[in-house]
A and B are shown apart, each in its own frame.
Chain A
Amino acid sequence: MKHLRQFLFASLLAFLALATLSACSSQQAGSSTKRVTITFWHGMTDSRKTELNHLIRTFNNSQTTYKVIGSSQGNIVNVQQKITAAAKSKTLPTIAQTVYTNVPDYVRGDIITPFDPYIKKNDLSDLHTAFRQSINYQGKAYSMPFSRSARILFYNKTLLKKEGLKVPTTWADIQKDGLQLKSKGITAMAFDQNFVTEADGLTRQAGSPLFGNGFDVNLTNKKSLAAIHVIWDMLQNGTATTAGTDGYGSVAFFKGKTLFYSGSSAGISTMQASTPKGMRWGTATLPSYQGQKVSSNSGNDIVMFKSASKAQRKGAAAFVKFLMSQKQTIKWAEKTGYVPLTKSAKSNAGYQQFLAKNPTAKAAENSLSFGFQDKPFLGYNQYLVAVGKSFDEMTANHVTPEKAMTQLQKQLPKMAKEQQK
């Protein structure tokens, strides 16, 4: 028994000695190739996650200094929730994908840092104007564009031909088509859950935008109300519909219950995959109003957290520049349905070939020259919820735009005051 105990003790000592030696040797080997780690939280899932992982691998393979570790946190809402929690527990990553309108809250919370010291203005000169403007908050570039999309018009080619109609160029055309189709039980236009995005564009075209400079907006302006009436009247007379719990207007569109659908270009790949057999559809830029064309650009940016070391910040900037580079942004756009971030992409031969093969992607690319994004401000999300509620009242309870906007206007001073807390 005593011999057995001695044998076991000796074995344990030998094992510990070996383990220590091997740990030392592996540490030595590791230190010679040690790279700065950049952690990246994103909200990409399914095929987009696969594509993003591919981009991350390409970047890592091109590097000897930095290594990006991507981590999908679920969808983009989940990423926001994770950031809120991690900021408190001080476990934030180096960079994360986020909605750019969160930037003011993050700046106030002192958790993000601008990219300006690491990315020169020249590096951003090729970006589309709307993207360049939206990344700026208080004169600094607190976020960098990544997965961006444009609002476009989807149309049912078969139905359009059958009804002898043309792709609309103005909102008045859609209103007219709606009256023609009404007796057949088909609506002219389907929107997603609400029509805030389209109303945002229309009021902008009218010269009195719904989302302007912070809470300083005139919602009861005649021009603004007339612009909202364009859609509200159609909803009331049954020539347009919102998706409600269907989530997206594409559901009614695929059922052949509507001729047009106003949706995000990011949905093209999903729509292609779920198109019913025998249905043919195309895309166009959104129609004009008051002689002007606009298209709301939405999507997500990348922010850099203050908790990152200087080396990590440099690495993060290098990675973001890589993502925004001509080659990668085109590749990303081709694979995912998002738009290329750069103006020069349009003249790129490879991308031209892609557009020729995929004509549904053309509308989004063509929309970028007149794209716009809301200016971020402190309290944007609170305002967005209030606007959404007002538009829901207009849709579900048939409240007039005049009444809904007057009520919303009255709430603005209080909302602005709450932000000073």
Chain B
Amino acid sequence: MINAKPTLKSTLKALLYLAPLLIVTITFTIWPLISSFLMSFYTKYNYFTNQVKAMGGANFAYLWQNPDFHLAVRNTLVFVIGVVPLTVILSLGIALLLNQINWLSSFFRTIYFLPFVTSTVAISLVWNWIFHQDNGLLNALLGGSVDWLNDPHYSLTALIIVCVWRGLGFNIVLFLAGLNNIDNHYYQAAKLDGASAWQQFTNVTLPMLAPITVLITVNEIISSFKVFDQIYALFHGQAGPANADLTMMYYLYQKFYVEGQYPVAAASGVVLFIFIVIITGLAFWYFQRHSIKIWGRRS
């Protein structure tokens, strides 16, 4: 049946099965994507009447010259570089530790997963208190008086801390699933060969976790590029002090909903999309190229 030659009838039948999901995807994903891509080229445009009087690349030229957009790109890249490696390394570390303990492991797993299922607003309220200059937990622990959320020098670090903490839970669960899938025979063979714990980790655990690491890294890159709600909630509807936490996604929101510059917002969305594609592509390329060197042949 699987190898049967496709006929018009069978193709139509397949299309019929695919239709519900296809219609939903085209309506809510493909069409808005095309629509916003086209909108990014509208230079004389009335959003409400949908009248397009001129088209061109002026919106991209605007972004090229706009200092706020440059700041948004810079902040986003710093944020991605800060969040992605930290999240991956910490998640892996915690997953390894959790994998070692049997007692209360489910309890700790739940604790780490909680931030992922808690609302952003609730999380931001708690972190707002932790970061507070006068009676915040962090300053009490560090013994300093840093205004984490209102000082432009620290606010991006504060955002990175919150986002890393929030992303841990989900990634730990993914790593744990990956760790549980590693056949114990590999470790037994390594022990027979006299491998130390570190050698077992680098030669067995890491290579076997390669596929899940790629998945987590790529997923983190994409979600970090799109960070918005944490900023909105943590900084009370602002992009941090003096735009210190203005990211590309926040810039898009501001241009669209606050300033009403719809084509510029669409153009920034296209640029954001290109950034995500390039960085994700680079990550894939890196993992492919270095997989043999770092993780052996298997990955």
Partner-B contacts on A (CB < 8 A): 77, 80-81, 84, 87-88, 105-106, 108-111, 193, 244-247, 255, 381-382, 385, 389, 392-393, 395-397, 418, 421
Identify 17 residue pairs between A and B in the complex whose beta-carbon atoms are under 8 Å apart, listed by A's number: A80-B257, A84-B257, A87-B47, A87-B48, A88-B50, A106-B48, A110-B46, A244-B236, A245-B150, A245-B235, A245-B236, A381-B258, A382-B261, A392-B238, A392-B243, A395-B241, A397-B152
Contacting pair A247 B236 (CB below 8 A)? yes
CA separation between A288 and B242, bound complex, in Å?
A: 29
Contacting pair A418 B261 (CB below 8 A)? yes
A269 to chain B, nearest CB (A): 20
Q: Top 10 nearest A-B pairs by Cβ distance?
A: A109-B48, A244-B150, A396-B241, A396-B242, A245-B149, A392-B242, A382-B259, A247-B236, A87-B48, A245-B236
Closest to A397 in B: B242
Closest to A87 in B: B48
Which residues of chain B in 20-53 are interfacial with respect to chain A, using CB atoms and an 8 Å cutoff?
43-50
Contacting pair B241 A109 (CB below 8 A)? no
CA separation between A255 and B133, bound complex, in Å?
A: 14
CA separation between A393 and B152, bound complex, in Å?
A: 10
Closest to A415 in B: B259
Q: 8 other contacts beyond A108-B46, A421-B44, with CB at 8 A cut-off? A: A106-B48, A109-B48, A110-B46, A244-B149, A245-B234, A385-B254, A395-B241, A396-B242
B139 to chain A, nearest CB (A): 14
A194 to chain B, nearest CB (A): 9
CA separation between A354 and B229, bound complex, in Å?
A: 42
Interface assignment of B168: CB less than 8 Å from any CB of chain A: no
CA separation between A244 and B237, bound complex, in Å?
A: 11
Residues of B within 8 A of A109 (CB): 46-49
Looking at B149, B236, B259, the one whose CB has the most chain A CB atoms below 10 A away is B259
Contacting pair B260 A393 (CB below 8 A)? no
Produce 1/0 per residue, B66-83, CB < 8 A to A: 001000000000000000
Contacting pair B47 A392 (CB below 8 A)? no
Closest to A104 in B: B260
Residues of A within 8 A of B134 (CB): 255
Contacting pair B43 A381 (CB below 8 A)? no
Q: Which of B147, B236, B241 contacts A392 (CB 8 A)?
A: B241
CA separation between A164 and B111, bound complex, in Å?
A: 53
Contacting pair A396 B150 (CB below 8 A)? yes
CA separation between A246 and B132, bound complex, in Å?
A: 9
B117 to chain A, nearest CB (A): 23
Residues of A within 8 A of B47 (CB): 84, 87-88, 109
Contacting pair A396 B152 (CB below 8 A)? yes
**Interface residue count for B (Cβ, 8 Å)?**
31
Given the known inter-chain contacts A193-B238, A389-B243, please indicate yes or no for A81 contacting B257, CB distance below 8 A.
yes
Q: Which of B43, B128, B151, B261 contacts A396 (CB 8 A)?
A: B151
Residues of B within 8 A of A421 (CB): 43-45
Produce 1/0 per residue, B257-277, CB < 8 A to A: 111110000000000000000
Closest to A241 in B: B150
B75 to chain A, nearest CB (A): 14
Looking at A84, A87, A245, A396, the one whose CB has the most chain B CB atoms below 10 A away is A245
Closest to B49 in A: A110
Closest to A257 in B: B134
CA separation between A84 and B259, bound complex, in Å?
A: 12
CA separation between A81 and B150, bound complex, in Å?
A: 27
Contacting pair A111 B243 (CB below 8 A)? no
Contacting pair A396 B236 (CB below 8 A)? no
Interface assignment of B244: CB less than 8 Å from any CB of chain A: yes
CA separation between A109 and B49, bound complex, in Å?
A: 6
Q: Which of B45, B151, B236, B242 contacts A389 (CB 8 A)?
A: B242
Closest to A243 in B: B236
Closest to A248 in B: B236
Which residues of chain B in 196-244 are interfacial with respect to chain A, using CB atoms and an 8 Å cutoff?
234-238, 241-244
CA separation between A81 and B128, bound complex, in Å?
A: 26
CA separation between A393 and B240, bound complex, in Å?
A: 11
Q: Which of A87, A245, A381 contacts B259 (CB 8 A)?
A: A381
Residues of A within 8 A of B43 (CB): 421
Residues of B within 8 A of A245 (CB): 128, 149-150, 234-236, 238
Contacting pair B243 A110 (CB below 8 A)? no
CA separation between A312 and B34, bound complex, in Å?
A: 37
Contacting pair B45 A88 (CB below 8 A)? no
Contacting pair A88 B259 (CB below 8 A)? no
CA separation between A356 and B28, bound complex, in Å?
A: 57
Closest to B238 in A: A193
Contacting pair B236 A193 (CB below 8 A)? yes
Contacting pair B261 A88 (CB below 8 A)? no
Residues of A within 8 A of B68 (CB): 389
Residues of A within 8 A of B49 (CB): 109-110
CA separation between A396 and B238, bound complex, in Å?
A: 13
Residues of A within 8 A of B46 (CB): 108-110
Residues of B within 8 A of A255 (CB): 134
Closest to B66 in A: A414
Closest to A108 in B: B46
CA separation between A80 and B253, bound complex, in Å?
A: 13
CA separation between A389 and B238, bound complex, in Å?
A: 10
Residues of B within 8 A of A193 (CB): 236, 238
Contacting pair A110 B152 (CB below 8 A)? no
CA separation between A106 and B46, bound complex, in Å?
A: 11
Contacting pair B48 A111 (CB below 8 A)? yes
Contacting pair A393 B48 (CB below 8 A)? no
Closest to A383 in B: B259
